[in-house]
Structure 1
Amino acid sequence: MSPGAFEPGRQAVVALHGRLEAAVRTALRERCALSVHEFTVLLALLRHEHGGAPRMQQLVDAVALSPSAVARLVGRLEERELVTRTHCAVDRRAVCPALTPAGRALAGQLRVPVSEAIRQGLSEAGCRPDLVPLARAVRRVGVSVPAL
């Protein structure tokens, strides 16, 4: 394959991601003062609630930010009393973030509006022929925020 063979696909992924992130950012801004990354952390913590608190590295993987950026992000959520940090049960040297009741409630309140924003963003992507196949693929994979 030629060096530029993947460029149209990369551009489509970037364009669709930008549309979806903008839609989610707007939905969050209308309802609370959370960033997309902060909301992603709340969801990651929610998914881990039944399996024990995740380590910070798992949040780094979920949010795709540097460890120091995730630590600052968790700190902001902790200041808002949405997250708390505790020592991990398995390794007492490690610190594991966990949702507070307020964090759990906020994530629950945002689930439907964020899912709707994603659906709307995918629908609008259908106006661009280069994004139609990718938007269809995302729909097939599943776009709703996990049930709480």
Structure 2
Amino acid sequence: MRFAKPFVVTLAGAAVLALPLSGAALADARQPQPAATAKAPQPTHSNPTVPQDQLAMGRDGVRAASLKVSVDPGRVRADGSYEVTIAAKGLRSGTAIVTSPEGKSYRVALSGGSATKTLTVPSKAKPGSETVTVKVGNKVTTAAFEVVGARKQQRDDHRHEAK
């Protein structure tokens, strides 16, 4: 009997300690409690250290500006090259994405708000109107040009004549 009392006290003490740790003492089956949530502070645009020209720019650094694209020459032979000229007014630097009529995309670095990219019309391109698409930030614009047939190869029979 002299071991029974310390044994019972030890078991009761362990149960008292284990019950709050098991979570059963805190459970309320009728109504679950909402979990605490924390919200990140939202940025404000009233920061006096940010210049007004940066506040006018969007998330990707593109100001509400104009984007112009042109293709030179306006008529290109199949297997010929043409130059895409990009002018992004209100933007000093950044990247433009030029998409050819065939669907190939090229990244072009803007310098001083402008850039050029030389592309080639495939040799098997059919005559007709084609369009180049340029995207700078959230602005997208296009430029059209005309593809004309490839030069017909001239026969060079006089070189192969027997002498």
> What is the TM-score with the length of structure 1 in the denominator?
0.19
> What is the TM-score with the length of structure 2 in the denominator?
0.18
| The structure with more strand, counted as a fraction of residues | 2
| The structure with more helix, counted as a fraction of residues | 1
